[in-house]
A and B are shown apart, each in its own frame.
Chain A
Amino acid sequence: MDVQTSQAPETVEAAPPPKAEILEICAEYGNDRHRMMDILHTVQNRYRWIAPETMEAIAEATDLSRIQVEGVASFYSFFSLKPKGRVTIRLCDDIIDRFHGLDAVVAEFERALGIKMGQTSRDGAFSLEFTPCIGMSDQAPAAMINDVVITKLTREKARDVANALRAGETPEKIAVPGFSPSSAHERANRMVNSNIRHAGEVLLGPVPQNAGLTKAVSITPTQIITTMEESGLRGCGGAGFVTGRKWRFAAGGEAERRFVICNADEGEPGTFKDRVLLTERPHLLIEGMTVAARAVGAREGIIYLRGEYEYLRPLLEEVLDERRAAGLLGTEIMGVRNFHFDIRIQLGAGAYVCGEEGALISSCEGLPGEPKTRPPFPVQRGYLGYPTVVNNVETFCHAARILDKGAKWFFDMGKEGSHGTKLFSVSGDCLNPGIYELPYGHSIWELLSIVGGEDAAAVQVGGPSGTMIGRDSFSRKLTFDDLATGGAIIIFNGSRNILEIVEYYMSFFVHESCGYCTPCRVGNVFLQKAIAKFRKGLANPEDIEYLRDLSSTIIETSRCGLGITSPNPVLTTLKSFPLIYSTMTKPTKDGIRDTFDIQAAIDGARKIAKRRSYIFDKDFSQ
């Protein structure tokens, strides 16, 4: 199967939705251009596409130009400018799923629905698509069916699902079969397993309700910030910025409004710990956000929930409502005068880059998910230009616990510079994939023995943007200073093809680059092509230097963290598995390469002609 294959979808006839209905949807969101994501989601869900006429109507209502609306609609994978099926099935095509039977699942869906991946059935009933990791890596292969999720797919399960859909069963009923669940939490749990394998002291063990918030209202905002600083808590979303310091920045200076945003975009392939916290500890998360709001003086909050986790939205809405009813959100929280704070949920729409905090803010503002120029930083000028704290789900949960139990309690766990516990999302070739809450500082060996993955040949720490290591490095430790990770631990056994993994990861970055800056937009395509050349055995020894050289240009000149980390799959495997690359370029005994490369042979001619060959360039068409 080709990387990110998608065939031209068959055109499905569809009339654009009536303008009056579109205007009504815009009016529901106050004709506010900053709510563009919600408007487009509603249109997409209801009519299955965003027609040219629709974009014009939205532009009219929100006082934008059509091209601005199109800029947003065409940026996100879950919005479609062509009619999609009433049921859209999105199969995760991550490398883990590929290694766990994705091919058979794809074949079965294609057969049962009579369409190929990337196509929509002529009657407009079904669309089949690939999508990057949907945060179910411990139960791969997984798929989204509209806004719900199914996991642990097999050929048989795929056949049953397809048949049920064809028989008119709703996706909801398929994802949550049997009697209707008694709560939103039960519904989420029946759809997706939380797989908590090890509960630590901070997050997944018993947590008293609102103890942290109670403490927070009894001390001053400055004292909250000091407590955070003293705890040593660092952000859990990947970058590891000191949380207390971030809050202090956001609290400083004059501002009419301030915002607290929770980053629940969790797009790094192999990461799913935020999904488990959202499911199992939603109160703790919102408690942590409320604590942050008090610390920095914010009245408004946003949870940016990745589109893939739309199935968790009812659960979160329910929790928000409960807390409003209990006086834990809204005005005069816990009876404290002048302590007002409320939260809305902003659903994403399939874009990894929106996890980057500037891009996330852009998306909340109704813009394409492009990172913002720094400086200014979000704590100075963030959402709508106001000071904004963006923290990861896990970070907020920790914050609430720290207030309850004290800075020292947290500081004393873990290692110097990496305090407290961390959730690890473990997936791939091991006995017990799932969530492990452990103090910082374990070695990879230790972690592997806990999860039943001792025969690992390679471990990807931190997902594609992180570090791939081999057995000789398994004594390295999980800390910010050694192997930093937002939580993903992907285990590969000796039968896995490292270059296949690298090629997939590069295709992921190509797919997810926002395209704003040259090195990431263009350079990653070249890197992906170069790896493909290695896989085909067509690389020359000099190509190893080319990989390094191109990677370093991308890293040095990219505008945001996506581009700065995108060459990591290449660079870290070059370091950990140099032989894999050199063997692929080795000439044969007699000195003649057994892979005569017509492409390379005609390259000179091609360069002079400044064009390629229709005969030899199979990819000559775009």
Chain B
Amino acid sequence: MSAISDTGTRRDTTFTFTIDGVEIRAQPGQTIMEAADDAGIYIPRLCDHEGLRHQGSCRVCTVKVGGRSVSACTQPANPGTNVESETPYLTKLRRDLVEMLFHEGNHLCPMCEASGNCELQAMAYRLDMTNPTKFPYLEPNRDLDASHPDIALDTNRCISCGRCIRASMDVDGKGLFGYVGRGIKRRVAVNGMDLAHTDAAVTDHAISAEVCPVGCIIRKREGFRIPIGEREFDKGLIGHEIEEKANA
């Protein structure tokens, strides 16, 4: 799949396809989302994160290709295809998924340390989640793990994106986190009795502010250091950095 052929000469193997009518260029092997990112088109996402393996679980990146819905973060881009993304229909599906995640956990934004930096909250804004939600609340009641001197873990807000799992396994080489259980009882747990009984360090990539999209992984004594109003998504809608590439 390399752009360099066997004889060592450089061949242009890039191809084009369209997203919402805009023609973009892609490298062989790229996913729809990777190609879109390069072209400055933002496709909403929660479980996918730069530098981590693709998981394809939140489904917020659902797009339509040839009438079929697929997750843009895992689906390879194909020459000549037409991808639909920002249609009212797909935005509605994405909003439903984000609402599901809100209702699966306990999200009281005004009381949450992540507010303003939270990708779930930011996604709700971006997708115009303004009407009262229609789903029932599932209200989990999971123990807060505050055993570690520098880190706390509150999985009541967890959206099961698995970013912490992949970051710890693949970047930190530690495997601090993992999924346990099945179905609605599936949740993130740590590799030990509790966090204090793991080799978690506050300097781990998995623990850094960029990995957990919501407010589950909390670095102690750091809370509210950046005041609300000056936080990540107070500056612009989620995805704005990618979209600004297109204007550059």
Contact = CB atoms under 8 A, between A and B. Distances in A.
Interface of A: 65-68, 70-71, 74-76, 351, 368, 373, 375, 510-519, 521-526, 529, 546, 550, 553, 556-559, 606-607, 610-612, 620-622
Nearest to A555: B69
Nearest to A530: B136
Contacts of B133: 607
Contacts of B159: 518
Nearest to A607: B132
Contact of B183 (A512, A529, A546, A557): A512
A559 B183 contact: no
Nearest 3 pairs of A and B residues by beta carbon: A515-B186, A67-B178, A67-B191
B25 interface: no
B108 interface: yes
B139 A559 contact: no
A75 B185 CA distance: 10
Interface of B: 54, 56-60, 62, 69, 71, 74, 76, 93, 96-97, 100-101, 103-104, 107-108, 132-141, 159-160, 175, 177-186, 189-192
A607 B103 CA distance: 11
Given A525-B138, A559-B59, A621-B141, A515 B185 contact: yes
Given A67-B175, A621-B141, 8 more contacts: A65-B178, A67-B191, A515-B160, A516-B186, A518-B160, A522-B184, A557-B62, A622-B140
30 contacts: A67-B189, A67-B190, A67-B191, A67-B192, A68-B175, A74-B182, A75-B182, A76-B182, A373-B54, A375-B76, A510-B184, A514-B182, A515-B181, A517-B58, A518-B100, A519-B59, A519-B100, A521-B184, A523-B96, A523-B100, A529-B136, A550-B96, A556-B69, A557-B93, A559-B56, A559-B57, A606-B137, A607-B133, A610-B107, A622-B138
A516 to B, nearest CB: 5
Contacts of B103: 522, 526
Contacts of B59: 517-519, 557-559
A284 B219 CA distance: 61
Nearest to B76: A375
Given A517-B58, A518-B58, A611-B139, A553 B160 contact: no
- Among B54, B100, B133, B177, chain A packs the most CB atoms within 10 A around the CB of B100
A373 B56 contact: yes
Given A522-B184, A546-B134, A557 B69 contact: yes
A524 B58 CA distance: 15
Contacts of A66: 191-192
Contacts of B134: 546
A75 B103 CA distance: 23
Nearest to B64: A556
A515 B136 contact: no
Contacts of A607: 132-133
Main secondary structure of the interface of B (DSSP, over half): loop
Contacts of B185: 515
A553 B96 contact: yes
A523 B179 CA distance: 19
Contacts of A71: 178-180
B118 to A, nearest CB: 15
B56 A525 contact: no
Contacts of B62: 556-557
Contacts of B177: 67
A622 to B, nearest CB: 5
Contacts of B57: 516-518, 559
Given A66-B191, A373-B54, A607-B132, A553 B139 contact: no
Contacts of B189: 67, 70
A546 B15 CA distance: 42
A550 B108 CA distance: 24
Contacts of B180: 67, 70-71, 74-75
Nearest to A369: B182
Nearest to B60: A518
A75 B181 CA distance: 5
Given A518-B101, A526-B135, A553-B93, A74 B192 contact: no
Contacts of A375: 76
Contacts of A620: 139
Nearest to B62: A557
A247 to B, nearest CB: 24
B183 A515 contact: yes
Central interface residue in A514, A519, A612, by most chain B CB within 10 Å = A519
Nearest to B58: A518
A510 B182 CA distance: 10
Nearest to B181: A74
A282 B132 CA distance: 57
A364 B138 CA distance: 33
Contacts of A68: 175, 178
B175 to A, nearest CB: 4
B186 A373 contact: no
Contacts of A611: 137, 139
Nearest to B161: A518
A192 to B, nearest CB: 28
Among B58, B138, B160, B184, the most chain A Cβ lie within 10 Å of the Cβ of B184
Contact of A513 (B97, B108, B140, B183): B183
Contacts of A67: 175, 177-178, 180, 189-192
Given A523-B100, A559-B59, A373 B132 contact: no
- Listed residue (B101, B134, B182, B186) with the most chain A CB atoms within 10 angstroms of its CB: B182
Q: Which of A513, A521, A606 has the most CB of B within 10 A?
A: A521
Contact of B101 (A351, A511, A522, A558): A522
Contact of B97 (A518, A546, A622): A518
Nearest to A606: B137
Contacts of A612: 137, 139
A556 B100 CA distance: 14
A522 B139 CA distance: 12
A526 B133 CA distance: 13
B239 to A, nearest CB: 19
Contact of A556 (B74, B93, B104): B93
